[in-house]
Amino acid sequence: MNTSELNRFIVVLIYGSLVLLSLLKLSNPLKVNRKANFWFGIFLFLWSSFWLDEILTLVKGAPVDVQSIVSVQIIQFLTPVMFYFSVLFYTNPSFKFRVSDLKYFILPLIFWINILLQRFGGFEDQTIFNYVFIGLILFQAIFYTGLSYFTIQKHKKRIQQFSANTEGINLNWLEYITIIIFIINIIYVVYNLSYDSKALNFFINGAFLLVIYSVGYYSLKQKEIYPLEEKQREELISIDEDQETEEIKKKLISDEELIRIKTQLEEIMDRQKPYLDSELNLIRLSELLSVSTHHLSYVINTGFKKNFFQYVNEYRIGYAKRLLKDSQSKLSILGIAYESGFNSKTSFNTTFKKLTGQTPSEYKNSSDL
């Protein structure tokens, strides 16, 4: 099998994988992250259209240039917009479209105008339009991947306000894929301007196939990020990622009430040890104290100068350190991680190293000396 034949085989795998994955996301058999998966499914289906001409060429045995069809191009330029919308709904399932959100269609509109001028403008020299076309593709890649990246970064900060275990809901996989797709698109556009883009097809398609398989694996593993109960979800989403600084400026409760809740919280953490529950979140802890999530978040941010993630995991690491020092304990490092409230060894090691400057193994060995 030569390079050309292998490339055709990869194209079939890419197209088939994207179409199948898009149907799985649209049907959403697990019924999780419904709105996000709907938009992500549309994105995947539109993304598959970029390989449609190669698929039809293989079927018909003659070159078919689907991407030269105006209607197909118009739809294809919505692909990055659909990706960004899926990111919006992953990070905020309560997001609602407003008139102001029409601004996200400005770039596709410019694309469409450029296409119509190319096709029906009557210009003999199309060189300038080709450069504008490629430039718009490059700018669009930078703009929407940039928006998606920063939206995910904000999401990572927000979830630390209400969750003590962010692994599985931090959308790391989506962040990495955003970066990889951006890099691949830049390489392809730059190569298209300078060289014969077809010479790069085999390598680009190979890279895309690996990315698509990664997308399939991690997106199908993605669990529900926010609680299913709408009221609870709204409460958590309304706790902004910048609350640590913003809400300190305005008092939600009196100083006396803050001290009372702070003292009650410390007593519960010491006596009941709710931090040992790996599923502990702001809602569960607020129910133990019989206070609102906003007030509890305010107390943790203002009274302890920490977010929820930092506050709870400091207790977990303190508990883990006692287990590591216990010479009678027969628990492994993984066992201690689970016993301390962590849901994976990776998150345990990362948090432990961040707070102590040592790995759990290093700390245990130093304690044994």
Summarize pLDDT for 297-349 with one digit per residue, the tens: 999 999 999 999 999 999 999 999 999 988 888 889 999 999 999 999 999 99
pLDDT higher than 60, residue 145: yes
Torsion angle defined by CA atoms of residues 272, 275, 277 and 279, in that order, rounded to the nearest 10 degrees: 140
pLDDT of 126 reads 59
CB 15 within 8 A of CB 48: yes
DSSP state of 61: S
Q: Is residue 58 a contact partner of residue 47, using CB atoms and an 8 Å limit?
A: no
State how far the Cα of 201 lies from the Cα of 57, in Å rounded to an integer: 15
**Among 270, 249, 262, 246, residue whose Cα is nearest residue 295:** 262
DSSP-assigned letter for residue 270? H
Distance CA 329, CA 194 (A): 64
Owner of token pair 């690996």: 210
Lowest mean pLDDT among 73-82, 87-96, 309-318: 73-82
Count of residues for the chain? Answer: 369
In this prediction, residue 247 carries a pLDDT of 47
**What pLDDT does residue 108 have?**
85
State how far the alpha carbon of 188 is from the alpha carbons of 137, 148, 205, in Å.
Answer: 11, 20, 11
From residue 53, how far is each of 1, 50, 72, 253 by CA, in Å?
22, 7, 11, 62
pLDDT of residue 122: 56
Nearest-angstrom CA–CA distance, 160 and 33: 19
Q: What is the percent of the chain where pLDDT is above 90? A: 53
Q: What is the pLDDT of residue 121?
A: 63
For 100-124, how does the pLDDT look when each residue is reduced to its tens digit (9 = 90+)? Answer: 999 998 888 888 887 777 766 655 5
Collapse the DSSP code of 293 into the 3-class scheme (helix H, G, I; strand E, B; otherwise coil) and give the result.
helix
- The separation between CA 79 and the C-alpha centre of its own chain, rounded to angstroms, equals 17
Q: Tell me the average pLDDT of the chain.
A: 85
C-alpha 340/C-alpha 349 separation (Å) is 12
Question: Confidence band (pLDDT; 50, 70, 90) for 227?
Answer: confident
| Contact in structure between 164 and 313 (CB atoms under 8 Å) | yes
For residue 96, is pLDDT > 60?
Answer: yes
Q: What's phi and psi for 306, nearest 5 deg?
A: -140, 165
- Return the DSSP state at 269: H
Residue 148 · residue 294 · CB < 8 Å: no
CB-based contacts of 242, cutoff 8 Å, min separation 6:
157
pLDDT of amino acid 91: 94
Bridge-partner residues for 163, per DSSP? 281
- Output the CA torsion sign for 359, 362, 368, 369: negative
Cα(352)–Cα(323) distance, integer angstroms:
13
The residue type found at 182 is F
From 38-52, 236-250, 290-304, the region with the lowest mean pLDDT: 236-250
Angstrom distance (rounded) from CA 83 to CA 334: 37
Lowest mean pLDDT among 47-61, 236-250, 270-284: 236-250
Taking the mean position of all CA atoms in its chain, how far away is CA 11? 26
- One-letter identity of residue 55: I
CB of 267 within 8 A of CB of 258? no
Tell me if 314 sits within 8 A of 268, measured CB to CB: no
As a whole number of angstroms, the distance between CA 13 and CA 326 comes to 54
pTM: 0.86
- Looking at residues 191-220, what average pLDDT do you find? 78
Say whether pLDDT at 9 is over 80.
yes
Q: Indicate if the pLDDT at residue 83 is higher than 70.
A: yes
Q: Which range among 191-195, 253-257, 333-337 shows the weakest confidence by mean pLDDT?
A: 191-195
pLDDT for 369 beyond 90:
no
**Which is higher by pLDDT, 60 or 160?**
160
Tell me if 70 sits within 8 A of 115, measured CB to CB. yes
